[in-house]
Amino acid sequence: MSEGKLVYRFHEGSADLRDLLGGKGANLCEMARLGLPVPPGFVITTEACLRYYEDGRRLPEGLWPAVRDHVREIEAAAGRSFGVADNPLLLSVRSGARFSMPGMMDTVLNLGLNDETAAGLARRTGDERFALDSYRRFIQLFGKVVLKVPGGAFEEALTDARRRAGVESDAELGDAGLRRLVESFKGMAREHSDSPFPEDAWEQLRSAVEAVFDSWDNPRAIAYRDHHRISHSLGTAVNVQAMVFGNAGWDCATGVAFSRNPATGARELYGEYLANAQGEDVVSGARTPKLIKELADEFPEAYRQLGATADRLERHYRDVQDMEFTIERRRLYVLQTRVAKRSALAAVKTAVEMVHEGLIDQRQALLRVPAGELAQLLLPRFNERAKKQALRQGRLLARGLNASPGAASGRVVFDAARAVAIAEEGDPAVLVRPETSADDVHGIIRAAAVLTSRGGVTSHAAVVTRGLGKPAVVGCEALRVDPASRHLSVNGHVVREGDEISVDGFTGEVFTGRIDTIAPDISGNGELVELLAWADGARRLGVRANADTPADARLALAYGAEGVGLCRTEHMFFQPERLPLVRQALLSARAASELERRVEEGREAVTQAEGPARGEAEQRLRAAEEELDHSHEWHAYRHALERLEAYQREDFAAILRVMEGRPVVIRLLDAPLHEFLPPYQSLLQDVAAMRASDPDAPALPEKERLLEAARELHEANPMLGHRGCRLGLTYPDIYDIQVRAILEAACDLQAEGADVRPEIMIPMVVDASELHAIKAHLERVAAEVMASSGREVRTRFGTMIEVPRAALAAGELAPEVAFFSFGSNDLTQMTFAFSRDDAEEKFLRYYLRRGLLPANPFNSLDEKGVGRLIRIAVEEGRAANPELELGLCGEHGGDPESVSLCHRLGLDYVSCSPHRLPVARLAAAQAALGEAERLDV
């Protein structure tokens, strides 16, 4: 570690030095340089923190003298003296790492107070209440942060004091009450630490700096960094600054302001404040703050100045700012500024508007919006009709602040652990708390929505849920939340843990019971449409949709799909009017094909026989033909197949018509046949029960036949089983009717003048000879249809790469086909030997919790294993067939990191579910721009 400068006064630093000074420190320096009203102070560097850890948690040499020197400078600037009773200087000591970790690390305010300086402060300001309030705040924070007194104890004492005084908020406590609090707080601190509360200001400062350093390594912070994939080796800076006081009377205030609305993106000064308070009161949600526009009336000059400062900072940083400010005796101080976290809606709107305002260019706008969050814009909203009905039914429980958009119903839970437990059972949970803190984050992550009775739109709950893209209603004051007795009540209406409620994060409404949700339409969002158009211009990767129905296909077109990358044909067989046909075909298949085989053999025998043998062979053939013709089973089988073919012809025609002029990749049946029967296990149980309950009852041929068929089709590992082209080869009728239906539909549409582009995808291939055999057969089937309709339809064959063997044999598969499509879901299953149906519950959750895998490979494409197989297939496939088109159609196609990987792997397109298309389009653009950026360097 270099022996660099360990302490920077604000005027020495700048925004460029984030690594060294942390985000907060660098911005404080930058604001000081800009001449904004920042109280004097200095930053202890992250390097000092790292050396603190290197030396076994000892302050590095030279640090303390430098700190003392810099405090002297603050004294000079502020005209007060640290630790001196007469006109005492108080300091704030705040953590500030490279990346914002809100609420995770520690801060001590009002430092420098003891009995003497507190008395001096009271004398100097003539305001004993202010001095006592600051003193009790200091003891509370120092006690918690430095002396590790459990925080709950102080809170209990405060609640107690408020009750005794008969007031609602701490600000209303009188001198006597505060004095008692100070004494009892000091007692608690002493009791906990077994030594008197440190009276010496310098000792206070030194322990506070160490405590901030220590907080980098607390379990909460470690968990937060793990979750957000922030390196553990960055360390934190410490910001030491002269205190300014929002709690020095009713001409003081403190608050948080955004340069634009972080929920909607509207260009307006937005935020909230509390008069006669310190910052923690606003953020903690203990008192419900006022909206920032009220500041215009209460503190007009400060309000004007704040607006100007917001403008100045936004223009300077070219991004939306989130500022902390304090008004001390009507004078404005800015204590912090940072890039504002915002909802996806706001991110899109501000990015696009800033381009129009000339603040940033399109490229910056594209890189600024987190692609994954676009899915929020397509988050479910409550069905308006269902909501109106709920209103009519009197199910509106309460209204709060619409802190984070989205809408969800779920079971009420009152703590994070319960939220996790419910989520693990697969149920959505709504976490209801008086207010939330860092201790609740793991529960918020798993909950479907959050509801709090206290706190404002910048409260902890609001900030965290916005980041996670899940609905929250906060400050819902009508709610009485009682976690201990596991219920909440609103005007006597009681909701117990486990009951369902519905939270509308768009409106702030809370309902009892469940309300249906719908996906929104994006076309009304002009900024989003504009941003995505820019993305389409920037990306190299094509974007298609996975769509199985005409409705899906229309949605896909609306969301910008350039084609259908995966049309699964399974559901076409599952529809209620068709399933009986499929079962009929399955039950009669064996008998029917045996009859057909005999006729076939008979024909061959006739052509080969000579002389008298011929007559005999002809007779045998006639008998076989007659048997077939009289077979009920055979007719049932052929009838079922014909009907299924007709249904599918309609399905394909409808989708092809919607996607006219665009490719539609149709995957032939991939599912194993047993999926079309009732579950084997329930058939077993039913038949066993039937037989046991009445052994003499007449046989029930239907169930027994189904059971027999299910037993025949049963497999130990269906995922590794008789599916995809394995079925296509051994039961050729299935693929035959599918390919005929596709070609018939295409020929019909072409006859109507439509430009249709069906592409036929063969699944589960492992070897080139397999692919060759099945493709050759299906090409003949297709040619027959075209010949009989007298049309030529441009049809391409491709294969799905979803088995490791296929990726490894890509060089031999590629010359057989026009395209590969990576089935990354199954490829992930085979590559990891993870059965998706079981892995999550049985062990994958455990693996992710313990960090044994960096991410769930079903969500984010595994670069090391699955990605490597794809890379092999891409390189060797293209080498063998330079015309080969390469796509990916697993669910990873809608995950930004996976899309970026697909771009880097050189795929031609990704295909994802329609509601993930905006994510994929933007992520593809970001991947292309990111690559351009790297190439620039």
Report the DSSP beta bridge partners of residue 452.
Answer: 433
Cβ of residue 648: shortest distance to a copy of itself, in angstroms?
A: 24
Paired sense of beta strands 757-762 and 663-667, if any: parallel
Give the C-alpha separation, 821 to 802, whole Å.
Answer: 8
3-state secondary structure of 394: coil
Which residue of 767, 779, 875, 931 would you call a contact of a copy of itself, by CB under 8 A? 767
Name the residue among 701, 717, 719, 699 with its Cα closest to residue 709: 701
Cβ of residue 23: shortest distance to a copy of itself, in angstroms?
A: 30
Give the C-alpha separation, 851 to 914, whole Å.
Answer: 31
Cβ of residue 907: shortest distance to a copy of itself, in angstroms?
A: 19
Residue whose CB is less far from a copy of itself, 415 or 931: 415
Residue whose CB is less far from a copy of itself, 494 or 689: 689
Give the C-alpha separation, 634 to 625, whole Å.
Answer: 11
Residue whose CB is less far from a copy of itself, 221 or 809: 809
Is residue 192 at the binding interface for a copy of itself, with CB under 8 A as the rule? yes
The residue assigned the tokens 């197949």 is 641
Residue whose CB is less far from a copy of itself, 163 or 864: 864
Q: How far is CA 740 from CA 12, 549, 645, 649, in A?
A: 76, 19, 8, 8
Is residue 766 at the binding interface for a copy of itself, with CB under 8 A as the rule? yes
Is residue 696 at the binding interface for a copy of itself, with CB under 8 A as the rule? no
Tokens of 163: 């009750």
Cβ of residue 264: shortest distance to a copy of itself, in angstroms?
A: 42
DSSP collapsed to 3 states, 216-236: CCCHHHHHHHHHHCCCCCCCE
Asked whether the beta carbons of 106 and 95 are under 8 A apart, the reply is yes
Cβ of residue 445: shortest distance to a copy of itself, in angstroms?
A: 21
CA 519 to chain centre: 16
Is residue 467 at the binding interface for a copy of itself, with CB under 8 A as the rule? no
Q: How far is CA 585 from CA 206, 668, 674, in A?
A: 82, 17, 12
Residue whose CB is less far from a copy of itself, 476 or 771: 771
Is residue 620 at the binding interface for a copy of itself, with CB under 8 A as the rule? no
Cβ of residue 718: shortest distance to a copy of itself, in angstroms?
A: 7
Q: Is 49 labeled as catalytic in the residue annotation?
A: no
Four-point Cα dihedral 807, 808, 814, 815, nearest 10: -160
User: What residue type is assigned to position 896 of the chain?
Assistant: P
> Kind and range of the H or E element at 112?
none
Pattern 493-522, binding to a copy of itself, x per CB under 8 A?
A: ------------------------------
**H runs (alpha helix) in 55-200:** 63-78, 115-125, 128-145, 151-165, 175-193
Give the C-alpha separation, 676 to 640, whole Å.
Answer: 14
Which residue of 26, 653, 869, 902 would you call a contact of a copy of itself, by CB under 8 A? 869
Which residue of 168, 610, 696, 883 would you call a contact of a copy of itself, by CB under 8 A? 610
Give the C-alpha separation, 507 to 400, whole Å.
Answer: 8
Give the C-alpha separation, 221 to 100, whole Å.
Answer: 11
Cβ of residue 603: shortest distance to a copy of itself, in angstroms?
A: 18
Cβ of residue 225: shortest distance to a copy of itself, in angstroms?
A: 17
Is residue 685 at the binding interface for a copy of itself, with CB under 8 A as the rule? yes
Is residue 191 at the binding interface for a copy of itself, with CB under 8 A as the rule? yes
User: What residue type is assigned to position 905 of the chain?
Assistant: L
Which residue of 391, 838, 879, 932 would you call a contact of a copy of itself, by CB under 8 A? 838
3-state secondary structure of 69: helix
CA 15 to chain centre: 30
The string of DSSP codes covering 840-855 is IIIIIHHHHHTTSSSS
Give the C-alpha separation, 785 to 675, whole Å.
Answer: 29
Burial class (CB in 10 A: 0-12, 13-18, 19+), 423: buried
Cβ of residue 92: shortest distance to a copy of itself, in angstroms?
A: 28
Which residue of 546, 831, 898, 900 would you call a contact of a copy of itself, by CB under 8 A? 831
**What would you report as the CA-atom Rg of the chain, rounded to the nearest whole angstrom?**
35
Count of residues of this chain found to bind a copy of itself when the rule CB under 8 A is applied: 64
Residue whose CB is less far from a copy of itself, 612 or 753: 612
Q: Which residues contact 329 (CB under 8 A, 6 or more apart)?
A: 248, 249, 251, 252
Residues making up the chain, counted from first to last: 937
Cβ of residue 622: shortest distance to a copy of itself, in angstroms?
A: 23
* Choices 254-262, 476-484, 518-526, 805-813 (CB under 8 A): range interacting with a copy of itself: 805-813
The residue assigned the tokens 């709107």 is 349
Is residue 603 at the binding interface for a copy of itself, with CB under 8 A as the rule? no
* Choices 234-242, 474-482, 781-789, 849-857 (CB under 8 A): range interacting with a copy of itself: 849-857
Which residue of 369, 659, 747, 839 would you call a contact of a copy of itself, by CB under 8 A? 839
Q: Is 567 labeled as catalytic in the residue annotation?
A: no
Give the C-alpha separation, 690 to 90, whole Å.
Answer: 84
Residue whose CB is less far from a copy of itself, 499 or 767: 767
Name the residue among 738, 739, 863, 866 with its Cα closest to residue 802: 866
3-state secondary structure of 740: helix
Name the residue among 285, 297, 215 with its Cα closest to residue 256: 285
* Choices 307-315, 377-385, 761-769, 926-934 (CB under 8 A): range interacting with a copy of itself: 761-769
Q: Which of 29, 476, 747, 889 is catalytic?
A: 889
Which residue of 123, 487, 796, 868 would you call a contact of a copy of itself, by CB under 8 A? 868
Which residue of 550, 865, 906, 930 would you call a contact of a copy of itself, by CB under 8 A? 865
* Choices 71-79, 127-135, 676-684, 878-886 (CB under 8 A): range interacting with a copy of itself: 676-684
Is residue 574 at the binding interface for a copy of itself, with CB under 8 A as the rule? no
Is residue 680 at the binding interface for a copy of itself, with CB under 8 A as the rule? yes
Contacts to a copy of itself from residues 716-735, by CB under 8 A: 716-722, 726, 729-730
Is residue 879 at the binding interface for a copy of itself, with CB under 8 A as the rule? no
Is residue 151 at the binding interface for a copy of itself, with CB under 8 A as the rule? no
Cβ of residue 645: shortest distance to a copy of itself, in angstroms?
A: 24
Cβ of residue 148: shortest distance to a copy of itself, in angstroms?
A: 9
Cβ of residue 429: shortest distance to a copy of itself, in angstroms?
A: 22
User: What residue type is assigned to position 423 of the chain?
Assistant: A
Residue whose CB is less far from a copy of itself, 267 or 603: 603
Tokens of 703: 């169930």
Contacts to a copy of itself from residues 698-717, by CB under 8 A: 715-717
The residue assigned the tokens 């035959």 is 736
The residue assigned the tokens 């194993």 is 672
Q: How far is CA 400 from CA 452, 472, 504, 556, in A?
A: 8, 9, 10, 35
* Choices 288-296, 373-381, 522-530, 851-859 (CB under 8 A): range interacting with a copy of itself: 851-859
Which residue of 195, 491, 607, 693 would you call a contact of a copy of itself, by CB under 8 A? 693
Is residue 773 at the binding interface for a copy of itself, with CB under 8 A as the rule? yes
Q: Which of 29, 49, 252, 460 is catalytic?
A: 460
Give the C-alpha separation, 384 to 515, whole Å.
Answer: 9
Is residue 833 at the binding interface for a copy of itself, with CB under 8 A as the rule? yes
Q: Which residues are catalytic?
A: 460, 889
Name the residues that contact a copy of itself, by CB under 8 A.
191-192, 610-611, 680-681, 684-686, 688-693, 715-722, 726, 729-730, 764, 766-767, 769-770, 773, 802-805, 808-809, 812, 826, 829-835, 837-839, 842-843, 846-847, 850-853, 862, 864-866, 868-869
